[in-house]
Structure 1
Amino acid sequence: MTTAPSAGMTRRSAAYLATHPRVRLALILSAPLTWLALVYVVALALLLVTALWTVDGFTGQISPTWTLDNLRTVVTGALYRTVTLRTVGVALLVTVIDVVIALPIAFYMAKVASPRAQRLLVIAVLMPLWASYLVKAYAWRSVLSQDGLLNWLVAPVGLQGPGYGLPATVITLSYLWLPYVILPIYAGLEKVPNSLLEASADLGAPPWRTLSSVVLPLALPAIIAGTIFSFSLSLGDYITVTIVGGTSQMLGNLVYTNVGAANNLPLAAAIALVPIVIIFGYLALVRRTGALDNL
């Protein structure tokens, strides 16, 4: 049975929370934010600490001896600079391809298609996400192989598919991350009032002018939000390049190699910091555009 003092305290607490919405919101978010801090912030801190350790050359065991050698190797090594530039180049190319493909699809979904067609198109965009990542990557490996579907289609006109390598990696990653780019752009374009498009047309602006001067400026935060997904996911990927990349290497491959075959976890941690620093820099660059509000 609840005593009078405890009941009064409960009523006072409820009254206080009812009149202080910020305190109520802080209490609601405290558990997930604590979990987020433990999983991400602490994990990143441990990653940085591991990058400052060494590996004993005789025993192969990790030694908690502090050193900057791993970071210095990653920053000054020609191999790591080359792979970093290659990884960033692939991520940027995938992002550009996805935006070019996603824009007309998202615009049609948001402004042209009927409500029924919109629902069907959203389902069509989401359907690839129901399949396993590995299934889709190996499907593209089959398509791009020497005896695959692509070579069979272009052989009659004397052409040949790209085979395995960086072009195959770009194609596969562009396919994998395209839904993540379409959906934010579609959500952003839905917020663009149709009255603005009608006013632009009434004032005599051609469609390309309406698109460049009205639609794109308003949809820019949503477009940048989509690029965050494609750029960051491509930057950290290592499975696709392993499946269809041939002998090509990206940063994820170097991390995987040093964790597994080389058994050099500190160097792997130092390499893993490179894409983390790049994506944090990218997020800081686009923060003022309002793109993060569209995620």
Structure 2
Amino acid sequence: MTALSAFFYRKPKLRLGFLLSAPLLWLGLAYLGALAALFVTAFWHTDAFTGQVVIDWSLDNFRTLFTDAVYRTITFRTVGIAALVTVIDAVIAFPMAYAMAKLASPRTQRILVIAVMTPLWASYLVKAYAWRSMLSGNGALSWLSPGYGVTATIMTLSYLWLPYMILPIYAGLDRLPDSLVDASGDLGARSFRTFRSVILPLTFPAIVAGSIFTFSLSLGDYIAVKIVGGTSQMLGNVVYDNIGAANNLPFAATVATVPVVIMLAYLAAVRRTGALDNL
């Protein structure tokens, strides 16, 4: 054991590779392997008579997905809801994060960070059903949404994922030197000019980092839509319905590839902003 320890001590890169081999193997099998199985299954189909999965390679599932007007509408609705939730959370989160990072005392900062994280410790279903109660006909916020539907879904998702936007922006603003803001004021810039020319450009990667969470989580959500969405559907609901009632696993896999491809494209687009360094 002494000789083995000495050997790994002399080779730090080999030691690091040995320590990371187990988690990387698990990542490759459980995560990347599952994604590979998902993409492969999307090219199969289900026998209409027996309901069994038939390993017969074709693009029929993708053809149905892109040519059927219903699925196109659901896809655009899903992307639109995810984008709108991201924008709403960014607008709400930025002033909150700025107050936490630049205006609050160190003690108050810690209290506010805990307050922002507290909703994450509560059950997802409890929070979603709480919004269902508030948006019901006699609920406290029934005047905000005309019944259950897309508006109620956007409001619920915006609440659920707001902490994931606040915390990255807070971290970005906390790293922003106060001297830059003071220098902008000394040079005669007003508050809005300082925000537009100094604060926003330097914290933009943090905003994009938060958007990765809110956009991806909204893109794949289906439980909140079931609870407050009424008759509206998102891509996650189509996947769920084809796994359960329709028993069409290949088509469910086909639909599930859409959010994955969208997020890969989004990550490729934001990689140059430095947002991934803020995660």
Q: 1:91 is matched with which residue: 74, 82, 85?
A: 82
SS at match of 2:56: coil
User: Who is 1:178 aligned against?
Assistant: 162
One-letter amino acid of the counterpart of residue 14, structure 1: F
Match of 1:76 among 67, 80, 88: 67
| TM-score when normalising by structure 1 | 0.91
Q: CA deviation at 1:162?
A: 2.7
**1:213-228 alignment to 2 at 5 Å?**
213-228=197-212
Which blocks of at least 5 consecutive residues in structure 2 are unaligned? none
User: By how many angstroms is 1:257 displaced?
Assistant: 0.6
Q: Residues of 1 paired with 2:190 and 2:126: CA distance?
A: 44
How far residue 144 of structure 1 moved from its aligned partner, in angstroms, is 0.3
Structure 2 equivalent of residue 207 of structure 1: 191
Displacement of 1:163 in angstroms is 1.7
Which of 93, 97, 110 lines up with 1:102 in the alignment?
93
Q: Which amino acid aligns with 2:245?
A: A
CA shift at 1:166, angstroms? Answer: 0.1
1:277 aligns with 2:271: no
Q: Which residue of 2 aligns with 1:57?
A: 48
Cα distance per residue 1:101-148 (max 9 Å; x no partner): 000000110111001110111011011111100000000000000111
CA distance in 2, matches of 1:120, 1:10: 47
**1:28 deviation in Å?**
2.3
Matches within 5 A, 1:229-268: 229-268=213-252
Distance 1:167 1:15, change over 3 A: closer
What corresponds to 1:14 in structure 2? 8
Q: Write the distance in 2 (CA, Å) between the matches of 1:267 and 1:178.
A: 32
Secondary structure class of the residue paired with 1:149 = coil
Matches of 2:6 and 2:161, distance apart in 1: 51
Matched, 1:294 2:278: yes
Distance 1:50 1:294, change over 3 A: same
TM-score (norm 2): 0.96
* Alpha-carbon displacement from aligned partner over 1:204-259 (angstroms, at most 9, x marks no partner): 21111111111111111110000000000000000011100000011001001100
Superposition deviation, residue 11 in structure 1: 5.5
> How many equivalent residue pairs?
279
Stretches of structure 1 lacking an aligned partner (at least 5 in a row): 1-5, 155-159
